[in-house]
Amino acid sequence: MGEERHLFLLESFKPGDVYHVDSLMFNKEVVFTSASKYLAPPMQVSHEGGVFRTKTLGRYSEEFKALEEANAKVLLNFGLIYGATHTEFIRGKEDRKWYFLETSSRVGGAHIPDLVEASSNINIWREWAKIEDSLSKGSHYEVSKTNWVLFRVNSCPD
């Protein structure tokens, strides 16, 4: 790009609420999704202090549905075939649009797997191991039965 590199925007800061979506993929299909809203995002806590907090979203809420759809698009466009994922989005403060922040092919950190398990009965680590086992045996994988409830988690004990 040389001297024209200033014409290309790679990223910009979008103030707003930060959300995370934790998923399981098998054969290019999202087979499990948990969506949550950070109450105190990790970046904020690392710069301003405080306690990391997040809460699950109701499965039939407008936010959950929008995140579920956006997450599936991101993962499929990245070409993920199977595994556990942790993807983050920002909902713009001014325009209320959804913006992709980042994704990773791993289980979320900061006690997020505990939140997912408490709210859904799905242990993402265990399910990821089952996916890998199914792949090694050439067998079908089916996610365990869920039992959805709403929860909030803090990263330190009271």
Degrees to nearest 5, angle at CA 63 with 104 and 12: 55
Span 130-152, mean pLDDT? 85
For residue 155, name the pLDDT band (cuts at 50, 70, 90): low
What is d(CA 93, CA 28) in angstroms, rounded to the nearest whole number? 32
pLDDT tens column, 46-97: 888 888 889 999 999 999 999 999 999 999 999 999 999 999 999 999 999 9
Sheet holding 16-26: strands in order across?
A: 98-104, 83-92, 16-26, 29-40, 53-56, 152-154
pLDDT tens column, 29-52: 999 999 999 997 777 778 888 888
Q: Which residues are CB-neighbours of 35 under 8 A, at least 6 positions away?
A: 19, 20, 21, 22, 56, 57, 63, 64, 67, 68, 71
pLDDT tens column, 92-115: 999 999 999 999 999 998 889 999
Separation in Å, CA 86 to CA 8, 9, 29, 93, 133 = 27, 25, 15, 22, 21
Are 21 and 90 in contact by the 8 Å Cβ rule? The answer is no
Give SS3 for 113. Answer: helix
Give SS3 for 33. Answer: strand
Supply the pTM of this predicted model. 0.84
